[in-house]
Amino acid sequence: ETGVTQSPTHLIKTRGQQVTLRCSSQSGHNTVSWYQQALGQGPQFIFQYYREEENGRGNFPPRFSGLQFPNYSSELNVNALELDDSALYLCASSPGLAGGLTYEQYFGPGTRLTVT
Amino acid sequence: AQSVTQLGSHVSVSEGALVLLRCNYSSSVPPYLFWYVQYPNQGLQLLLKYTTGATLVKGINGFEAEFKKSETSFHLTKPSAHMSDAAEYFCAVYGQNFVFGPGTRLSVLP
């Protein structure tokens, strides 16, 4: 069983640019959530995708957008990057909404984004 | 709306000593509560969870936590710290989505 993988591991972008981060969910999982973890803080919920549809969004502006593909992998896109977007971006997959009622989610190792 | 507070951004204990990491939550609905651990340069790993049933829950690596509704608390404990327990620990509550606390960094001194 393959765990959650994310790419790239590190990324450096310039303010105003656009970035795409990728996540492959664990086998059998149809739900993917994205989180932003700023340095020294806990993860903050960005949004969740369930069966290719957005299902819930946190307090993030529209320049944060996402996609989920038929194989349940997912992308996080951020437009017009700002310095405050520098963070670790975590993807978590789960076997259905609310973790298939187990409320469990499995995290990838994250993508470290630095905006200069 | 849900929220989580974790008292102490950094806790240091000696190897073999009791570990106590504090978590208090606010929730307008019956809470589902979680503790996650994060090792350097890694994602989060679930330690334990409370959803329903017994209020004392046991997790991996010898950790346990007790849900106390009257105190709105879900403190994490381990009787004897090991060097490998050094990591960042996050308490989280699930409502419509997961809300994480700011984290507590645990250091274990030899």
pLDDT in tens, B26-74: 987 778 999 999 998 888 999 999 988 889 999 999 999 999 999 999 9
Cβ of residue A40 closer than 8 Å to a chain B Cβ? yes
A96, pLDDT greater than 80: no
> Is there a cis peptide before residue A8, judged by omega within 30 degrees of 0?
yes
Which residue does chain A place closest to B95, by CA atoms?
A98
Handedness of CA A75, A80, A85, A86 (dihedral sign): positive
Cβ of residue A110 closer than 8 Å to a chain B Cβ? yes
A28, pLDDT greater than 90: no
Average of per-residue pLDDT values in chain A: 93
Check residue B30 and give its pLDDT: 78
A100, pLDDT greater than 90: no
Check residue A9 and give its pLDDT: 96
At A98, the pLDDT band (50, 70, 90 cuts) reads low
Interface test mutation site (partner B, options A24, A107, A111, A112, max chain B beta carbons within 10 A): A107
Average of per-residue pLDDT values in chain B: 94
Shortest alpha-carbon distance between residue B44 and chain A (Å): 6
Residues of A in contact with B7 (CB under 8 A): none
**A41, A45, A108: residue with CB nearest B97:** A45
Residue at A48: amino acid letter: Q
A12, pLDDT greater than 80: yes
Rounded CA separation B24/A2 (Å): 34
Check residue B66 and give its pLDDT: 95
Q: Is B61 left (phi over 0), alpha (psi -120 to 50) or beta?
A: left
Q: Is B60 helix (H, G, I), strand (E, B) or coil?
A: helix
A99, pLDDT greater than 80: no
The DSSP annotation for A77-99 comes to EE-S--GGG-EEEEEEEESSGGG
Tell me the percentage of chain B whose pLDDT exceeds 90: 82
pLDDT digits (tens, 9 = 90+) for B65-94: 999 999 999 999 999 999 999 999 999 998
Shortest alpha-carbon distance between residue B40 and chain A (Å): 10
**B34, B90, B98: residue with CB nearest A45:** B98
Arithmetic mean of pLDDT, A32-42: 94
pLDDT digits (tens, 9 = 90+) for A61-87: 999 999 999 999 999 999 999 999 999
Tell me the percentage of chain A whose pLDDT exceeds 70: 94
